[in-house]
Structure 1
Amino acid sequence: MAIDPQHLLNYPIPQVRQTLTEKDTAFYALSVGLGMDPLDEKQLRFVDSARDFRALPSIVVVLGHPGFWVAREDTGIDAVRVVHGEQRIEWHKPLPVAGEVVGETRVTGVVDKGNNALMYSEKELRDGNGELLATAGMTTVLRGQGGFGGDSEPLHAVHTLPDSEPDISVDLPTRAEQALYYRLNGDDNPLHSNPATAEAAGYPRPILHGLCTLGVVFHALFRELVDYREDRLKALSLRFSSPVFPGETIRTEIWRDGSFRARVVERDVVVVNNGKLDFV
């Protein structure tokens, strides 16, 4: 059943005011795999508030998060069939480890791809004083809900990876229960926790959140390209190409210019593609 694009463009996604605690900040970093090496001092800065505590910059994707709003009946979206297609982040200011943050999310575009539709949304994340901290954009694939006769051109160009072999390869494991931890960041889509929901969506078992995969991949980039220095980050973009099952190993393949992709080692399947980290 086709969606109504004008309805989605005008849909009132609730503003989210969140009281961020140091515990929340540490939990996010732990939920995407930091701290697996408990002797790595650079990782410990993001999980231990007794140190020079910092927020892992990819936490932007869960702060001020409006929840699984697409599942509301009045959206007209078949929530069981939605897929997270792309993610973008732009950092504007250093992120707090605690305090009030405010997320304002809106739908910015809807594209008709025939059988499917692409829905673009953007979240502005601000601190309690109204200062813009970061902007996070995502593309959601609405499977089987195209055909409404709208514009078919994507709103964002896809980054083209270099023709050469990657310069760096980083393997990071995920845990079998990782999706059950990650959902406590506020993403409670049952696709990641309920076997029956996963089966209804065509998967043999619950899959890892795309944004958890992003966190694992971001860790590899953060370590290898900027040595855990958040002040060097500008922007990130990527496309999700296949799901990860919790417990699999994610291999991030990186070029020195910030281009990247990622694959699951056990199945040799590319799960993140067309990635680019902009940094100084």
Structure 2
Amino acid sequence: MALDPDAIGAESGPRRTTWESKDCILYALGVGAGVDELAYTTENTKGTEQQVLPTYPVVLSMDPGIFKRFGTFDWAKLVHAEQGVEVLRPLPPKGAVLTTTRIADMFDKGKAALVVTESESVDEDTGEAMFRTRSALFIGGAGGWGGDRGPSSTWEAPERSPDHTVTYSTRADQALLYRLSGDRNPLHSDPAFARRAGFERPILHGLCTYGFTGRALLHALAGGDAQGLRSMDARFAAPVLPGDTLHVDIWGTGDGEAVFRTRKDDGTVVLTNGRCTLNAGAAR
């Protein structure tokens, strides 16, 4: 059982993905948006044009086909390690894209490996780039081929108090709602499966925590306007249980950029290495 380092540069796709208004609303509800965010949770509110959360592309760009190019590995030892998204054009509430995903790199961590994938999605009709995503996947037991260990992180939270802290409570059934956007992994719904994986009960999807954090950035830095947030990158640091409260600490760093982290009530950091950029003219 081994990964194939020669697969670096391999591609899958283009894969066609479509979405409609209700899909955008379901995703928004899944990451905690509600009655105070009707631009994201309704399509027929008078005087309010529907918008799409800028983290929604992490759902649209998923392509299971790329995993077939990794080589062989134990799926039970695969963990989502990092996620990034860059929105090049505001997403319409209905559309279709063609997504090409490539294996950008593989790093040998000794007893484990880190596989980095990058995707670009273009408008099906015009060919114009709509969004890009980047994922890093940590795979236990898959290292040891003598490859590059990869770059070290230089991210540090500023020593001053955050400029903003946004607090959201997740629901006890949050994972059951979020899974309807496409990730049906039983780790997030089946108590017996979660126990076999070493958890007391099903955990929240990492990308759900990512979406909650994206909402915090959107409202704290861009006045809640989807066109304000251009990019967002973060590393998954610890699991979240449905019902946990999340606190998103945000520090502006100038020139339309900010760094952030997300933590639980007990101080456990669940998202770290957070960086985001705003589009020119975004409220902040």
Task: After TM superposition, list the pairs within 5 Å mapping 1:114-263 onto structure 2.
Answer: 114-129=110-125, 130-154=127-151, 158-257=154-253, 258-263=258-263
The one-letter amino acid of 2:31's match is: V
**Of 41, 47, 62, which residue of structure 2 is paired with 1:47?**
41
Match for residue 95 of structure 2? 99
What is the Cα deviation at residue 89 of structure 1? 1.2
What is the Cα deviation at residue 77 of structure 1? 2.2
**Hey, what's the Cα distance between the residues in 2 that align with 1:58 and 1:174?**
17
What is the Cα deviation at residue 95 of structure 1? 0.8
Match for residue 6 of structure 1? 6
Q: 1:64 to 1:260 in 2, by over 3 A?
A: closer
Q: Percent identity?
A: 39
Alpha-carbon deviations, 1:191-223, whole Å to 9, x = none? 222233323332222211111100001111110
Alpha-carbon deviations, 1:70-91, whole Å to 9, x = none? 4x69841211111111111112
Q: Do the aligned residues in 2 keep the contact of 1:125 with 1:134 (CA within 8 Å)?
A: yes
Q: Do the aligned residues in 2 keep the contact of 1:167 with 1:255 (CA within 8 Å)?
A: yes
**Hey, what's the Cα distance between the residues in 2 that align with 1:75 and 1:197?**
25
Alpha-carbon deviations, 1:8-58, whole Å to 9, x = none? x365534431221111011111110001xx2x2xx1001111131111111
The one-letter amino acid of 2:91's match is: L
Q: 1:255 to 1:52 in 2, by over 3 A?
A: same
**Hey, what's the Cα distance between the residues in 2 that align with 1:120 and 1:227?**
32
**Greater Cα shift, 120-129 or 225-234:** 225-234
Q: Do the aligned residues in 1 keep the contact of 2:88 with 2:129 (CA within 8 Å)?
A: yes
Q: 1:76 to 1:195 in 2, by over 3 A?
A: farther
The one-letter amino acid of 1:140's match is: L
The one-letter amino acid of 1:264's match is: K
Q: Does residue 22 in structure 1 map to residue 5 in structure 2?
A: no
**Hey, what's the Cα distance between the residues in 2 that align with 1:11 and 1:143?**
22
What is the Cα deviation at residue 111 of structure 1? 0.1
Structure 2: where are the runs of 5+ without partners?
none
Q: Do the aligned residues in 2 keep the contact of 1:17 with 1:103 (CA within 8 Å)?
A: yes
Alpha-carbon deviations, 1:92-128, whole Å to 9, x = none? 1111210212222221110001111100001112222
Match for residue 105 of structure 2? 109
Q: Do the aligned residues in 1 keep the contact of 2:61 with 2:121 (CA within 8 Å)?
A: yes
Q: 1:11 to 1:177 in 2, by over 3 A?
A: farther
Q: Do the aligned residues in 2 keep the contact of 1:25 with 1:97 (CA within 8 Å)?
A: yes
Q: Do the aligned residues in 2 keep the contact of 1:198 with 1:204 (CA within 8 Å)?
A: yes
State the secondary structure of the residue aligned to 1:256. strand
Match for residue 269 of structure 1? 268
Structure 1: where are the runs of 5+ without partners?
none
Give the superposed CA RMSD. 2.1
TM-score (norm 2): 0.88
Q: Do the aligned residues in 2 keep the contact of 1:11 with 1:75 (CA within 8 Å)?
A: no
Number of residue pairs matched? 271
